[in-house]
Amino acid sequence: MKDGFIKTVCAVPELKVADCKFNSEKIISMILKADEEKAALCVFPELSITGYTCGDLFFQKTLLDNALISLKNIAESTSETDLVSVIGLPVSSNGSIYSCAAVICSGKVLGIVPKKNIPNYREFYEARHFAPGIDSGKLNFFGELIPFGANMIFRCTEMKEFTFGIEICEDLWVADTPSVKLALNGANIIVNLSASNETIGKAEYRRTIVKAKSGSLCCVYLYANAGADESTTDMIYSGHSIIAENGSIFSESEKFENGMIFFDADLQKIAAERERMNTFSGRVDDMLDIPFSIEKRETKLCRNISHTPFVPMSDSEVNERCKEISLMQSMGLVKRLKHTHCKTAVIGLSGGLDSTLALIVTVNAFRRLELDMEGIKAVTMPCFGTTDRTYNNACKLARLYGAQLLEINIRESVTKHFEDISHDPDVHDVTYENSQARERTQILMDIANKYGGLVIGTGDLSELALGWATYNGDHMSMYAVNSSIPKTLVRYLVRYEAECCGGELRAALVDILDTPVSPELLPPEENGTISQKTEDIVGPYELHDFFLYYMVRFGFTPSKIFRLAVHAFNGSYDNETILKWEKTFYRRFFLQQFKRSCLPDGPKVGTVTLSPRSDLRMPSDACADMWMSELDNIKI
């Protein structure tokens, strides 16, 4: 439960139809196993104490009485466990029978939730046996009055984000699902005790609806489905269970196999997402809050945490995403070129990744507008740190894309500038570096004026986060096409372009991908190779992109982000290295906000961007002490 994580379980036990004693023993066994695995919430299928397919046996008092006795036995037998369990059973009350979910914790039944929507179509004739659930009431459970009704939200006293509501099978498939009201009133988890039979194609539909519901409600959705041991008189059940979080399926059982599926739900992530959406506030309905208490213990993370959160996991997804992003970038530029009636674009082409991507985007925009590629002025401006490798690649790219290459050596003008400001050129400090960057920007701006064009910005999202840009140098442009593309994604976008082309152009792009990231503002090594490698100075971009994603996207604490990074980069970086660069990230992120407060326009393509107009309204003088103090207190 530390950092908002809880381990959740969907459990499908071995079952004998109408054998409450056997079924309760199997349920107890699974609850005990879930507790051993440090689970906090364990959900079983609909009517799991009796079996879903009992038919008219539900009218038998013997079955109904034994179901309640078995529930009492399950609660007492698991009283020493430290988790919440949700179990299905039939309950008779006030002359009606209901399909219910019983919630137990620490040996007590906290409440019983009846199914609201009773199907009565095709193969499902539940209305013969069950009544639609009431919203609120009381049930006499062995002399104790306990809450009975559909309008209940269960809330953990030790962890405010751990809240859940219940719907049962058909409740998910109707237009007005109970989960909507539950989510609007604060349930971060929706559990569904289901008995959905198997037919051709139904599993895919089941995946779709659970995935969609978890996304529309911004919740964790636990769907525990009746297993293959149900009666096969007319229908087949598979135990197909699913756990989804905010629109993505993270755990899914094999069909026709009993057992348990686990998922480390991130409830802080759900809460942060809802806070940003601002559509889950201000709702006050007639809901009953049921408190429960369990020990706050650390969840050992087993979920897959990508070390590149900006990049999809599978190759097919990566290619599709790259295609989409490239189109979005180019369409943003298309609009700006059309609006300004410009037929010229000016790009500082260094032979590095960022300017290569900016050129690709500009070429795509010109193609869509059917403009002459000669209107792209690719300006290479070698100086003290330029290497033959990057210079040659810049020249090749311009030629191969059909752009007009302009070569302007700035060594002499920068040297004259050093004289003007009385700077010793042998002192390779920030003045030495930034003078070159600003000279390049001045040239680009003046060329744009000369040809009536726009300067296309090349800086990326990662550089903006770290402030790794010269103020009013490469920091400035007339349209910044890469401003919401993190460095880790830039690489994939350039690689995607390389895969889509061939020959000499492909070879040039591949060589650029293999070139170390560098601003090339310091003289090269004696052998002519790059001496100034950015990641040696500010740290690995894959770490900084990871920190950026979880800080800005979800507002996670530095300690939680550190924990996630340790898990995601296991085997790549040790804890000391991760902590070192996380401190660098926070320090630079706060100190360099003033650069982001005056950014040029650029297309937003993802959920994490730093535009001061639409995405990050952060004061330039905010203090980072609380964040840095938390990092200082992390014990390695």
Q: What is the CATH number of the domain that holds 44?
A: 3.60.110.10
CA pair distance 80, 21, nearest whole angstrom: 20
CA pair distance 445, 439, nearest whole angstrom: 10
Would you say how long the chain is, in residues?
636
Give the residue with greater pLDDT, 517 vs 521.
517
pLDDT the model gives residue 314: 76
Q: Read out DSSP for 393-420?
A: HHHHHHHHHTPEEEE---HHHHHHHHHH
Same domain, 285 and 335: no
Give the other-Cβ count within 10 Å of 295's Cβ: 10
Task: Of 121, 122, 196, 190, give the one whose Cα is nearest residue 150.
Answer: 190
pTM: 0.91
Annotated active-site residue in 169, 218, 219, 342: 169
Task: Of 297, 355, 344, 356, give the one whose Cα is nearest residue 2.
Answer: 297
Q: Is the pLDDT of residue 313 over 80?
A: no
Same domain, 188 and 334: no
Same domain, 284 and 344: no
**Residue 302 belongs to some domain of the structure:** no
CA pair distance 418, 284, nearest whole angstrom: 67
CA pair distance 366, 370, nearest whole angstrom: 6
Measured between alpha carbons, how far is residue 3 from residues 435, 534, 565 in Å?
45, 32, 13
Q: What is the CATH number of the domain that holds 610?
A: 3.40.50.620
Query: How far does Cα 223 stand from its chain's mean position?
Result: 21
Q: Residue 89 corresponds to which amino acid?
A: L
Cβ-based burial of 107 (10 A; exposed 0-12, middle 13-18, buried ≥19): middle
**Residue 150 belongs to some domain of the structure:** yes
CA pair distance 394, 402, nearest whole angstrom: 12
Same domain, 119 and 203: yes
Q: Is the pLDDT of residue 337 over 80?
A: yes
Q: Is the pLDDT of residue 2 over 90?
A: no
Return the HEC string of 92-110.
EECCEEEEEEEEEECCEEE
**Residue 321 belongs to some domain of the structure:** yes
135 secondary structure, DSSP code: S
Q: Which tokens in the block code for residue 524? A: 């090269």
Residue 210: pLDDT band by 50, 70, 90 thresholds? Answer: very high
Q: What is the pLDDT of residues 127-183, one digit of tens each?
A: 899 999 998 899 999 999 999 999 999 999 999 999 999 999 999 999 999 999 999
Q: Is the pLDDT of residue 519 over 90?
A: no
Residue 517: pLDDT band by 50, 70, 90 thresholds? Answer: confident
**Residue 184 belongs to some domain of the structure:** yes
Same domain, 132 and 44: yes
**Residue 373 belongs to some domain of the structure:** yes
Q: Is the pLDDT of residue 522 over 80?
A: no
Q: What is the pLDDT of residues 3-53, one digit of tens each?
A: 999 999 999 999 999 999 999 999 999 999 999 999 999 999 999 999 999
Q: Report the run of H or E that residue 88 belongs to, with start and end.
A: strand 84-93
**Residue 465 belongs to some domain of the structure:** yes
Same domain, 465 and 582: yes
Contact present, 14 and 28 (Cβ < 8 Å): no
Catalytic residue list contains 245 = no
pLDDT-wise least confident of 78-92, 199-213, 439-453, 525-539: 525-539
Residue span of the structural domain in which 246 resides: 2-292
Q: Is the pLDDT of residue 278 over 90?
A: no
Same domain, 190 and 227: yes
Same domain, 336 and 458: yes
| Chosen domain end from 257, 292, 327 | 292
Rounded to the nearest 5°, which phi and psi values hold at 547? -60, -45
pLDDT the model gives residue 521: 67
Q: What is the percent of the chain with per-residue pLDDT over 90, rounded to a whole number?
A: 87
Q: Residue 192 corresponds to which amino acid?
A: N
Catalytic residue list contains 213 = no
Q: Is the pLDDT of residue 246 over 80?
A: yes
Catalytic residue list contains 169 = yes
pLDDT the model gives residue 298: 77
Measured between alpha carbons, how far is residue 251 from residues 34, 246, 331, 411, 499 in Å?
16, 13, 37, 59, 33
pLDDT the model gives residue 302: 87
Annotated active-site residue in 115, 213, 487, 560: 115
Same domain, 271 and 387: no
**Residue 303 belongs to some domain of the structure:** no
**Residue 309 belongs to some domain of the structure:** no
Same domain, 319 and 237: no
Same domain, 419 and 511: yes
pLDDT the model gives residue 634: 96
Q: Read out DSSP for 169-205?
A: THHHHSSS-HHHHHHHTT-SEEEEEE--B--TTHHHH
Q: Which tokens in the block code for residue 312? A: 């999809």
Q: Which tokens in the block code for residue 230? A: 């149900």
Q: What is the mean pLDDT of the chain?
A: 94
Q: Read out DSSP for 572-614?
A: TS-HHHHHHHHHHHHHHHHHTHHHHTTPPP----SS----TTT
Q: In total, how many domains does the chain have?
A: 2
Same domain, 112 and 229: yes
Annotated active-site residue in 46, 245, 433, 582: 46
